[in-house]
Amino acid sequence: MMTPFELGLVRVAVASPAQRVADVDLNVAAIRAAMERAADAGASLVLFPELSVTAYTCGDLFYQSLLLERARAALITLAHATAESRIAVVVGLPLLQDGKIFNCAAFLCDGAVVGIVPKTYLPNTQEYYEARWFASSRTARFDAVEIGAQHVPFGTDLLFRAANLPQCVIGIEICEDLWAITPPSSDKALGGATILLNPSASNDTLGKSEYRTALVAHQAARCLAAYLYAGASPNESTTDLVFAGHSLIAENGALLAETERFHFDTQLVTADVDVERLTNERTKNTSFAQQVARQSYRTVEFTLPEPRATKPYVLERPLSRTPFVPDDPRLRAEHCREIFTLQATGLAKRLKHTGIKKVTLGLSGGLDSTLALLVTLKAFEILDLNRRDIVALSMPGFGTTERTQSNAEQLAAYAGITFRTISVRDAVRQHFDDIGHDENVHDVVYENAQARERTQILMDVANQIGGLVVGTGDLSELALGWATYNGDHMSMYHVNAGVPKTLVQYLVEWYAGSQARPEEARVLRDIAATPITPELLPLSDNGALQQETEATIGPYILHDFFLYYMVRHQFPPRKIFWLAQYAFAEMYDAATILRWLGVFYRRFFSQQFKRSAMPDGPKVGSVALSPRGDWRMPSDASAALWLNEVAALQAESRVSPQITSSQLTRA
């Protein structure tokens, strides 16, 4: 089984050490202790603040030759320590070269000084006056310096590529560089850097920490990169300023970790950044591909230390079992409101454009059709249309239960819409006679004939009233092809096309809790608790369901997880399997996850022809499968590469595929 490191996960750390102004020996000791602590936490890389070897607030002591000499010598000591601690390190120091002092960040790894990057933008206003002591990188007329016996690359044009993990490319800018209108990190990202580092000494004032956090997260998002920011600690001089030791780790706009502020002892946090995810994100981002770095870069290769295996691995980044559904209730409610509004606005625009004032939809008493009705109600409210012109059709078949039938009737009554019940049983039996099918054979013909008859009724009634058919199927069903081609697969506007099954339930529950009257909410909550089923197979003698979707094709919570990481992040089966094992450790064993992962890939590839012919519908999230927008895939593409990797994982785990033909029906 591949390790997290091999899957592109790099554990990084940011630290604000317990330093003392101008005490190089004490600062080196504090940095070494923090290095060891970061390595023990499994980090491969740790970033320290600006001028961390000397402290930032030395003032005119930066002119002292003794301080400069000891800072330069400290690099050799710290470089040797990286070999002992097995961790890569970036520290800040003043470096005297050719009669100028440069504010620098030094990259240290495997016992050596790998490269040194000078600061470009020197703040020299208000509380800052760096130009008094330091020269900008623009004034350097050399591209290497001597550190002890080492000839070390020097310049802002350096990028550091991990030979053992090529997707990990490190670029460095220093403090004020980030505040520039065009930060150097933007260009370094275009040059290939996936992890951007900023050793900083930004003091704290009222509101500055919030601004700093937003700035770091925003730059990580703009650069499609991880961004590490290490801030100087409160141990800096407080003659005129206070520093807080605020350090952050962000990835593509999301804050992964930050230190607590205003602590005098060393503060350190770690997080796992996913360089494969970042690389994949850039690969499909055409704006990124069309931009070119303004300068050329020298790439210095190094070997990134693999994390120590001193403790059981614990993933240090957010990983939700339901990536489409926020875990935070407040954020989840906000998302539900936004998605619901997007759906309703999409339908309202279609009705407005066509001039159609009436709709039909199938109301089964299940989750998807319930959400479609609620969205339609909102669209009619937006357009000030009469609710009675929403014609909901209950079309009971051979597997319809009293529970779903009753819920559909009650919901329609509370909504004040037109409700009709048209059984499909007799029509389907006539169809069986016409084509010579035995009603007792409960195969794909038996199931799909009901679905197609229902669609025919919806279309014909829509023609009767001059209306539009609102589709009810969701994103998860589109991914798995769990819909009857030219049956429930078809409509005139597909309002749930962008909503995965795991989110449908939360949307209905959100509506029940925030939009519905008490009596209506009771019905909605019962619908949300109803087993997911197409109700196409006959009930048992005691009226119980004999068909539950998730027992046939697998849990939607797994399939939505697979869908998100395959389509949104382009991860291969091995990485999706590893993440799923981690996310669902308490729910499913490896055999179960691999079983349904195989089903997912088989169905996703074999059912593309349905998505190629899907009706219009609104995109509401980061994953969509419309053939006119986000997902272009030939219907006859082979799944062999993906299934072979699943088979290899099954062999490694000694797992039997256990895939049956029933999991490939509903064509």
Same domain (yes/no): 360, 256:
no
Check residue 325 and report its DSSP letter: S
**40 inside domain:** yes
Does residue 18 sit within a domain? yes
pLDDT, averaged across the chain: 94
Q: Which of 119, 188, 575, 610 is catalytic?
A: 119
**CATH code of the domain containing 253:** 3.60.110.10
pLDDT average, residue stretch 150-173: 97
Q: Which residue has the tokens 């020996």?
A: 25
175 annotated active-site: yes
Question: Does residue 373 belong to any structural domain of this protein?
Answer: yes
pLDDT of residue 506: 95
CA-closest candidate to residue 462, choices 422, 486, 491: 491
Is position 130 annotated as part of the catalytic site?
Answer: no
Residues 306 and 10 sit within 8 Å (Cβ to Cβ): no
Task: Tell whether 323 is covered by a domain.
Answer: no
Q: Is the pLDDT of residue 659 over 70?
A: no
Name the band, by pLDDT with cuts 50, 70 and 90, for residue 661: very low
Residue % of the chain over a pLDDT of 90: 90
360 neighbors 393 (Cβ within 8 angstroms)? yes
Region of 328 (left: φ > 0; alpha: ψ -120 to 50; beta: rest) is beta
Q: Which long-range contacts (CB under 8 A, 24 or more apart) does 514-522 make?
A: 514/333, 514/337, 515/374, 517/414, 519/414, 520/411, 520/414, 520/415
At 266-282, the pLDDT tens digits run 999 999 999 999 999 99
8 Å CB contact between 36 and 13:
no
pLDDT score for 657: 47
Indicate whether 419 and 359 sit together in one domain: yes
Does the structure show a pLDDT above 50 at 85?
A: yes
> Is 116 within 8 Å of 92 (Cβ atoms)?
no
Structure tokens at 74: 């400290």
Are 271 and 333 in a shared domain?
Answer: no
Pair 159, 222 in one domain = yes
Query: What is the model's pLDDT at position 543?
Result: 63
List, in order, residues 6 or more apart from 592 with CB less than 8 Å away.
Answer: none
Q: What is the pLDDT of residues 14-36, one digit of tens each?
A: 999 999 999 999 999 999 999 99
490 and 527 inside one domain: yes
Decide if pLDDT at 549 tops 90: no
Q: Could you tell me if 283 and 356 lie in one domain?
A: no
Give per-residue pLDDT as tens, 594-632.
999 999 999 999 999 999 999 999 999 999 999 998 999
CATH classification of the domain holding 575: 3.40.50.620
- Which of the residues 168, 175, 223, 336 is marked catalytic? 175
Integer CA distances (angstroms), 340 to 323, 334, 530, in order: 18, 10, 21
Entry pTM = 0.93
DSSP SS3 for 488: coil
At residue 551, the pLDDT reads 85
- Annotated catalytic residue, options 50, 276, 477, 509: 50
Confidence class for position 234, pLDDT limits 50, 70, 90? very high
Establish whether 119 is a catalytic residue.
Answer: yes
Same domain, 514 and 553: yes
Which residue did the predictor score with more confidence, 300 or 630? Answer: 300
CA nearest to 213, candidates 254, 273, 183 = 254
CA distances from 401 to 172, 397, 542, 547, 586 (A): 63, 9, 11, 11, 33
Q: Is residue 127 part of a domain?
A: yes
The answer on pLDDT for 423 being more than 50 is: yes
The reply to whether 347 and 292 lie within a common domain is no
Token pair of 154 as six digits: 């020097």
Closest CA to 17 of 229, 203, 197, 233: 233
Helices vs. strands in the chain: H and E counts, helices first: 21, 20
| 110 and 50, same domain (yes or no) | yes
DSSP 321: S
Q: Is the pLDDT of residue 121 over 60?
A: yes
Rounded CA gap, 568 and 622, in Å?
Answer: 7
d(Cα 225, Cα 441) in Å, to the nearest integer? 56
Q: Are 115 and 153 in contact (CB under 8 A)?
A: yes
| Percent of all residues in the chain with a pLDDT value above 70, rounded to a whole number | 97
What pLDDT sits at residue 643?
A: 98
Question: Within a 10 A sphere around the Cβ of 263, how many other Cβ atoms?
Answer: 15
Same domain for 17 and 116?
yes
- Domain span at residue 487 reads 329-664
- Confidence grade of residue 258 (pLDDT, cut at 50, 70, 90): very high
Instruction: For residue 82, name the pLDDT band (cuts at 50, 70, 90).
Output: very high
Q: Are residues 345 and 236 in the same domain?
A: no
Of the two residues 535 and 480, the one the predictor is more confident about is: 480
The candidate with the shortest Cα–Cα distance to 656, out of 594, 597, 603, is 594
Position of tokens 């996960």?
Answer: 9
pLDDT for the residue 310: 67
Asked, for residue 314, whether it belongs to a domain, the answer is no
Instruction: Give 283 or 533, the one with higher predicted confidence.
Output: 283
pLDDT score at 544? 64
Whether residue 551 is contained in a domain is answered as: yes
Cα–Cα distance for residue pair 50/307, rounded to 1 Å: 25
Give the type of residue at 41.
A
Number of domains comprising the chain: 2
**Nearest 5°: phi and psi at 80?**
-60, -35
In angstroms, the CA 154 to CA 134 distance is: 16
Q: What is the mean pLDDT of residues 296-307?
A: 96
Instruction: Name the phi and psi angles at 274, rounded to 5.
Output: -105, 95
Q: Please indicate, yes or no, if residue 3 is contained in any of the structural domains.
A: no
**pLDDT reading at 660 higher than 50:** no
User: According to the model, what pLDDT value does residue 421 have?
Assistant: 97
Same domain, 297 and 334: no
